[in-house]
Amino acid sequence: MVGLYETLGEDEQSRSARFRFECDRRRFIVARGSLREILTRYLATPPGQLRFVYNTFGKPGLSPECGRGLRFNISHSADLALIAIALDAEVGVDLEHLQALPDYAEIARGFFSPAEVDELTRLPSGVQAQAFFRCWTKKEAYAKARGEGLASNGTPPTGRWSLHTFQPAPGYVAALVVEGVIPPGRILFCPNFPRTRSIARARPRSRSVSGPKIPS
């Protein structure tokens, strides 16, 4: 993990120091360090020299001198992280660890449409968690792809956006939104980076999703 930490920018290192719990600090370092390791495989820039810029809502992107066409997005929850890479297309990814919440319906009312809330409340309590987080990840991935906050637009992807949902690991749900019509066969999944080198086989024009395992 020391090697990954050394590749982080000063702002990322400062952010890692503000985590209250060591496990959260380690997760952040591994996720952001792995992001840099993956991006450098597409760019002629060492991971420690990559520079990020952020929009008003905090969506990160590569600074112009590092690469204009490459887009990425990252999400992490509990012990897993997802990193999405796309060329010349905006991309958003969201990952959630299934967990019990006090009142799914009450939270949903603040972000879901009335029809979605009604559908959720009609489900048996035993499946509400998965249904809630599946809907949540779709909305979050869409908002991140657009570079907006979740509350700004809860509309699911239509038209120029492609939505893909999947289960990256037991106990997790995730959603990927990519600008344009992307057939499932064009999405390359590269799990468990950096323990495997499968990401090296990703072609620059492929949309790829990598999931580094974060040490607890």
pLDDT of residue 209: 54
pLDDT of residue 153: 47
List, for the chain, all residue ranges whose pLDDT scores fall below the cut of 70: 150-158, 183-216
pLDDT of residue 126: 87
| Residue 129: exposure state from Cβ atoms within 10 A (0-12, 13-18, ≥19) | middle
pLDDT of residue 65: 87
Give the pairing type, strands 161-166 and 172-179: antiparallel
pLDDT of residue 196: 31
What is the fold, at CATH topology level, of the domain defined by 2-211?
Ribosomal Protein L22; Chain A (3.90.470)
Helix, strand, coil content of the chain in percent (nearest 5): 40, 25, 35
Q: Taking the model in full, what pTM does it have?
A: 0.82
| Cα separation, 46 vs 41, whole angstroms | 9
pLDDT of residue 61: 93
